[in-house]
Structure 1
Amino acid sequence: MRWPIIRWFVALLIALPLGTFILFPTLWRCLTIVHASDFQPVKAGDRTLYISTDATPRQRDLLFSHVQVASARIRQFWGRQQGKATIIYCPTQDQYAQYCSGGEGAGCSLGMPWGDSFLVLGPEGNSPDVMAHELCHDELFARLGWLTIKRQVPQWFNEGLALMVDYRFSSGGSTARERFLIYDAEWKYRAYGPEGLSPQVVPVLSSLETTRDFFYGDYSRVMLAYLTAGREVSRWLATVGPSALPRLISDLAEGQRFMDVYQFAHIRKAGTSQKNVQSANSPSH
């Protein structure tokens, strides 16, 4: 009885990597990047960068500079940087498509159930905005893990949060309220046109819960999904304040439901404001 079980277990060990290679070739290439002869590993602090040998010296210099800028934004927004994603830089579109499924966008993030994570940058990804965006995804992954993000965190929140360190819509000097007003104005322009007379099908948050739903449709619809997410998260942060985010992460890590803690942040804020009002109105001794 023992030998059939052992043979089954050995067969499973062989089938798993083989199945991964066949079904998810881009994922397999990321997992085996350390053995890729066309990439050079470079250490940058606690992080390893794998830079394509096709990259020019100018592209390499910009990459290092942009990683520093993006990491500084992450530390400013999160307080400290916990993510340690392996960064893979592909300066050509063909190479990028080998490591990021479909080869769409400027960059993509991959998180594994066992904790490993990868950040793949394409030809347009050598930018502090793209890097900060993807690194923000990695920060959420580092704090909550694969399972909690998959089961609890809606994609609109994950993307909206990443837009807070991605300044392609708003500048880094914007306050939380200013950032919301910028996203709100851009959202209205995209949704209703310059005259406000041509309404499109505007996605609601409940239709942006999963990755598939978020990135469904043409370019215009996906851009509207991003703006809807950025508008909501910037509104939330402007309302509840920066201290609400670490508390939300802590509550999610303890197993609480996302919408419960997300909405409860408003109650907490209102309660704090009420206490401050009462304290200000109390007679001094």
Structure 2
Amino acid sequence: MKKAVWGGCLLFFIFVIVGAGFQRHALACEILPLLDYSRLNGHVFIGADHKPASTENIEDLLQAASLRIERMYGEPHSRPRILIAGSVEAAERWGANDTATMHRLPWRTCIILGPEGENIDVLAHEWLHAEIQQRVGFWRFLREMPVWFDEGAALTVDYREPLLPENIALSDEEVSQVRSLVSGADFFSDNVLENYQAARLAVIPLINANTFYADLERIAAGENFSDVFSARSN
């Protein structure tokens, strides 16, 4: 009995250590309030090496991104922790690239904006990822939400020209194939731009803007992704 208990404890600690290694940047976001970063409000932080900019400009960006989501789907309820890094090097220290990355924890999402990501398209995109997790719940999100759908949905509030439906020339077969990319390892591999474009087109018949939040909450309540969304593709 004691061996079983010790074995269980050992497996638990291994899980925690390995998980902390893979999610170290997400966990680091939890101590942002303790670090030497300027704090715009309760959830937005500005890196020390951020280029000179007024607080008003950053506030305008946050408001514009929130408003874009609201106009499409309704007011976002999520309040992701946001770090606006001042350089590529600073973003990389937080596990991000020069544009943006979002880290997930069961109780919070954390958006790192790199120097190329300080615009409404990128912030609205990342914020909608956070909103989807907020509505579905972390564990249900991991279980039910395929990456292609999460990315395609985020692109509905991202108006960068190569990702607009009217600028995408992919065959029906190519769009259909993206639905097999359910994990990040699959999606963020070869032909990433094409995967994004295909995902953008793939969600068009699946998402009803008027019911999107309610549909996500159906998944939170226990329904399967395929039952809530995929039937609309028929």
Instruction: Report TM bin, short chain.
Output: 0.7 to 0.9
Is the counterpart of residue 139 in structure 1 residue 131 in structure 2?
A: yes
The offset of 1:255, in angstroms, is 1.1
Deviation digits for residues 178-204 of structure 1, max 9, x if unmatched?
Answer: x9xx51x4331xx58xxxxxxxx8771
| Among 259, 264, 272, the residue aligned to 2:231 | 264
Identify the residue that residue 232 of structure 1 maps to in structure 2. 202
TM-score by length of 1: 0.70
Tell me the amino acid that sits aligned with residue 29 of structure 1: A
- Kindly indicate whether residue 218 of structure 2 is the aligned counterpart of residue 251 of structure 1: yes
Instruction: Report the equivalent of 1:277.
Output: none
Deviations 1:7-32 (A, max 9, x none): x97xx78994x656555432332222
Unaligned ranges ≥5, structure 1: 171-178, 193-200, 268-285
Match of 2:79 in 1: 84
**Structure 1 residue runs of 4 or more that deviate by more than 6 Å after TM superposition:** 12-15
Are the aligned partners of 2:88 and 2:97 in contact in 1 as well (CA < 8 Å)? Answer: no
Find the aligned partners of 2:102 and 2:220 in 1 and give their Cα distance.
21
Counterpart of 2:158 in structure 1 is 166
- Structure 2, unmatched stretches of 5+, are none
Q: Does 1:51 align with 2:46?
A: yes
Change (3 A) 1:23 1:154: closer
- Tell me: higher relative CO, structure 1 or 2? Use CA pairs within 8 A at least 6 residues apart: 2
2:180 corresponds to: 207
Q: Contact 2:45/2:82 (CA < 8 Å) preserved in 1?
A: yes
* Superposed displacement of residue 106, structure 1: 0.9
Q: Classify 1:19/1:229 alpha carbon distance in 2 versus 1 (closer, same or farther; 3 Å).
A: closer
AA paired with 1:68? Answer: Q
Q: C-alpha distance in 1, partners of 2:160/2:213?
A: 25
What is the identity, as a one-letter code, of the residue corresponding to 1:264? Answer: A
2:108 is matched with 116
Change over 3 Å in CA distance of 1:150–1:15 after alignment to 2: closer
Shift of 1:50: 0.9
DSSP 3-state at the match of 2:40: strand
* 8 Å contact kept, 1:203–1:224: no
Residue matched to 1:106:
99
TM-score (norm 2): 0.84
Cα separation, partners in 2 of 1:248 and 1:121, compared to 1, 3 Å: same
Match in the other structure for 1:273: none
- Identify which of 138, 148, 161 aligns with 1:156: 148
Quote the Cα distance in structure 1 between the aligned partners of 2:68 and 2:38.
26
SS of the residue 2:206 aligns to: helix
CA contact (8 A) 2:91 2:114 kept: yes
Distance, in Å, in 2 between the alignment partners of 1:25 and 1:209 is 24
1:42 aligns with 2:40: yes
C-alpha distance in structure 2 between counterparts of 1:15 and 1:255, whole Å: 26
Report how many residues are paired.
231
Letter in 2 for 1:160: G
One of 62, 65, 78 as aligned partner of 2:60: 65
